Amino acid sequence: MWDNALPSFLIGLREGLEAGLIVSVLVAALVRSGHRSRLPHVWTGVLAAVGVSMGFGAVLTFTAADLSGRAQEAFGGVLSVVAVVFVTAMVFWMRRSARSLSGELEERVSAAVGMGAGVLVVTSFLAVGREGLETALFLWTTGQAAGESAGPLTGAGAGLLLAAAVCRGLYRRVLHLNLTRFFTVTGAGLIVIAAGVLGYGVRDLQEGGVLPGAAAFAFDLSARVDPASWYATLAAGMFNLTPQMTWLQATAYGTYLLVVMALFVRGVRGTAVSAAASPVSGTASPVPTTISPGPAAASPGPAAASPVSTAASPPAAAPSSTPAAEPAASQDEPQPVQAGSAAAPTAGRRLPRAATITVSPADCGGGFTAPKPGRQSFQVRDTGRGTVEAYLIDPVTAAVYGEVEGVAPGTTRTLTATIGTGSYAWRCVPASGRAVTSAAVRVTGGGTRTAVLPVAAKDLAAPLASYRAYVRQGLAGLLTRTRTLQRDVDAGQLGRARKDWLPAHEAYAALGAAYGTFGEFDAKINGTTAGLPRGVKDSGFTGFHRVEYGLWHGESAASLTGAVRQLTADVTALRKDFPHQDFDAGDLPLRTHEILEATLQQELTGATDYGSGTALATAEANIRGTRVLLGLLRPLIRQRDPEVLTNVDRWLRRTEHLVLAARHPDGSWTPLASLSGAARRRLDGAMGQSLEELAPIPDLLEIRRAA
């Protein structure tokens, strides 16, 4: 039994981990977007997919049982070949798509949330159902090959349980796993196992009369090798190798193993080369090793101005309707702004006719000649077989003038850039493999245009380390203040508790905790009633705002004891967990904008005021958290666009001055609702302009593969 369990254990572990990662991404996308109430829809789709997969396995079993002996052999052989095809496609798909899996699923979730519960159920069902059907088919074929079901089912069950535990650990950030290496090793193992399943399937087809050569043996070692021996049983159970194999069976086994393994290894090497490439050959994003329910890479907002020319376009998988040489887009499209340059051209002015630039994973910049100075539009068409990211760069410094991401085969995307005096080239970065750079051209007579110097992950390593140190220190102070608040409530001193609540809450806000920085801990510590069916009476309403509501709505100390103790416990758990949490360095620039965006949407609308009237105090703490992040990133920003810092500093000072005007000498604050209409408009306007000035920073410091 144990010999037959290992192949099923591997398929259960790998397919279970794939499905588990998909579910984790779906859940994390809903949690980070504040749609926890939609989680039951995900689980409904998941359970439906599991049910369909189990039903599929039952159909296979009962269908085979009703067939004659020869028909059963043929039926099993066909399904074995189909299983091999599915498993092979799955192995290569995961190797190719792992990098973009999280982003693609989060895009689907975002779309599904806006379209209703049914679409979200279907999204989770389809995402998990494919893995379930593959697992059911493969387990059925391995069970047929083993001649018994106990071993395969035991192995698959163990693999699925381990996969569930691993996914939970990744989601909770208590486990770190190199998923790239995992899928590489298990992929190679599954190819070996699939070769055995293919050989077994060919033998079944021969015995069922579908294929010839049932009596033409390539070798017959049954006289020398005891089929009941432990090593023969092990080889048959794990690899479907038997002492007696036909020529067709052995040929199928060997050919599949050699060809598929060679293609797989070559693909792995190509990915490794891409990941470790020099500035000339580009860099590749690693497969994420945790599924974080933290912040999404939110857009800076509708008014954000990008320092790099980009094209507004549909997802890469959608075919483009743009002709290969169509005139430039109308002025209704977003007009990008060059770093260090003036804004878009005058409304109504037509751009020159767009030049068509062909790109592909193997060739880049076809049709590119020296453009004329000024505003230019390029039609970027992918003529290859793989998706690429295309960059218009300075070939000497690798600085980026414009980019289009995710150009799919056969589609055309528009890139608009302002051309000045300098050198220009195209760089194509495929999903896997080496980057390709076109020949450079020289443009003169166009004035000076500043491109964006690319940022690599290593450039953000030091700011990220400093941010983590800042948060660790801040969490220690937060815990001290939270314990003080708990002691007040435990002693029945509610007046003192109301006084000590605000310093503790400000300490948390100053850590830059907007947009779920700390994952599920943020919802526990600073969550609101949004999405909770029973509002302030809901058991899921916990943390600072739950305590705030009780303190300012006449609840007794006894009724608040549980809430404040739970708050202290959650802060303690966050402090313990934080050193093990993974943070994407690319999130740091985003957070400079997101913290105050959340402030404008929450604190300055009164949505997070549960009675204390201290929303403006929280806003001031959020400004302090933003300043900390700006201080860490200031050298990188100054190197790319110093004017951004000048404007940001000016408007942050003005906004902070307006906020601090509501603080009284005794430390109390004027409630937001008590401000005059004019004061609120001035504050909203200043915060909005601060966000305008902060908006270019995430684009300036975006980690680009063109580097």
Three-state SS string over 196-242 comes to HHHHHHHHHHHHCCCCCCCCCEEEECCCCCCCCCHHHHHHHHHHCCC
- Answer for the pair 453, 639: CB distance below 8 angstroms, yes or no: yes
Q: What is the mean pLDDT of residues 103-124?
A: 60
**474 confidence band (pLDDT: 50, 70, 90):** very high
| Residue 678 in tokens | 């004019």
**DSSP secondary-structure letter at 310?**
-
321-330, 559-568, 583-592, 691-700: least confident range = 321-330
pLDDT for the residue numbered 186: 72
Has residue 618 got a pLDDT over 90? yes
- With 0-12 / 13-18 / 19 or more C-beta atoms within 10 angstroms meaning exposed / middle / buried, residue 496 is middle
Alpha-carbon distance values, 188 to 92, 153, 194, 547 (Å): 10, 22, 10, 54
The sign of the torsion formed by the CA atoms of 112, 113, 117, 123 equals positive
**287 confidence band (pLDDT: 50, 70, 90):** very low
- Answer for the pair 644, 693: CB distance below 8 angstroms, yes or no: yes
Q: What is the DSSP string of 341-358?
A: S--SPPTTPPPPPPEEEE
The sign of the torsion formed by the CA atoms of 101, 694, 388, 434 equals negative
pLDDT for the residue numbered 687: 93
Token pair 């509610």 is at which residue?
494
**307 confidence band (pLDDT: 50, 70, 90):** very low
Q: What is the mean pLDDT of residues 673-677?
A: 93
- With 0-12 / 13-18 / 19 or more C-beta atoms within 10 angstroms meaning exposed / middle / buried, residue 464 is middle
**DSSP secondary-structure letter at 673?**
G
**295 confidence band (pLDDT: 50, 70, 90):** very low
pLDDT for the residue numbered 33: 60
Q: What is the mean pLDDT of residues 253-257?
A: 89
**267 confidence band (pLDDT: 50, 70, 90):** low
Most confident listed range (244-253, 426-435, 618-627): 618-627
Which amino acid is it at 105?
A: L
d(CA 686, CA 676): 15
d(CA 133, CA 56): 7
**142 confidence band (pLDDT: 50, 70, 90):** low
- Answer for the pair 527, 542: CB distance below 8 angstroms, yes or no: yes
**614 confidence band (pLDDT: 50, 70, 90):** very high
**80 confidence band (pLDDT: 50, 70, 90):** confident
Q: What is the mean pLDDT of residues 565-583?
A: 90
| Residue 132 in tokens | 């379930």
Token pair 């980009």 is at which residue?
310
**222 confidence band (pLDDT: 50, 70, 90):** low
| Residue 259 in tokens | 């060809």
d(CA 659, CA 246): 83
Q: What is the mean pLDDT of residues 234-243?
A: 61
What mean pLDDT value characterizes the chain?
77
Q: What is the mean pLDDT of residues 383-403?
A: 87
- Alpha-carbon Rg of the chain, whole angstroms? 30
- Answer for the pair 408, 382: CB distance below 8 angstroms, yes or no: yes
The sign of the torsion formed by the CA atoms of 118, 119, 124, 125 equals positive
Token pair 């208590």 is at which residue?
174
Q: Which run of H or E residues covers position 376?
A: strand 374-382
Token pair 């802060």 is at which residue?
571
d(CA 176, CA 170): 6
Kind of pairing, strands 364-366 and 374-382? unpaired
Alpha-carbon distance values, 351 to 77, 250, 297, 344 (Å): 61, 64, 32, 11
Q: What are the two backbone dihedrals, phi and then psi, of residue 426, each rounded to the nearest 5 degrees? A: -105, 140
- Answer for the pair 379, 322: CB distance below 8 angstroms, yes or no: yes
Has residue 338 got a pLDDT over 50? no
Which amino acid is it at 707?
A: A
pTM for this entry: 0.51
Q: What is the mean pLDDT of residues 507-523?
A: 78
3-class state of residue 707 by DSSP: coil
Has residue 253 got a pLDDT over 70? yes
Alpha-carbon distance values, 688 to 297, 343, 524, 649, 652 (Å): 20, 19, 29, 14, 10
Has residue 55 got a pLDDT over 80? yes
What residues does 437 pair with on adjacent strands? 427
Has residue 675 got a pLDDT over 90? yes
Among 94, 88, 93, CA closest to 21: 94
d(CA 368, CA 351): 17
Q: What are the two backbone dihedrals, phi and then psi, of residue 300, each rounded to the nearest 5 degrees? A: -65, -10
d(CA 302, CA 692): 10
d(CA 149, CA 656): 69
- Count of alpha carbons within 13 Å of 220, Cβ hemisphere only? 6
Q: Which run of H or E residues covers position 377?
A: strand 374-382
- Answer for the pair 57, 140: CB distance below 8 angstroms, yes or no: yes
d(CA 620, CA 53): 53
Helix/strand/coil percentages in the chain, nearest 5: 60, 10, 35
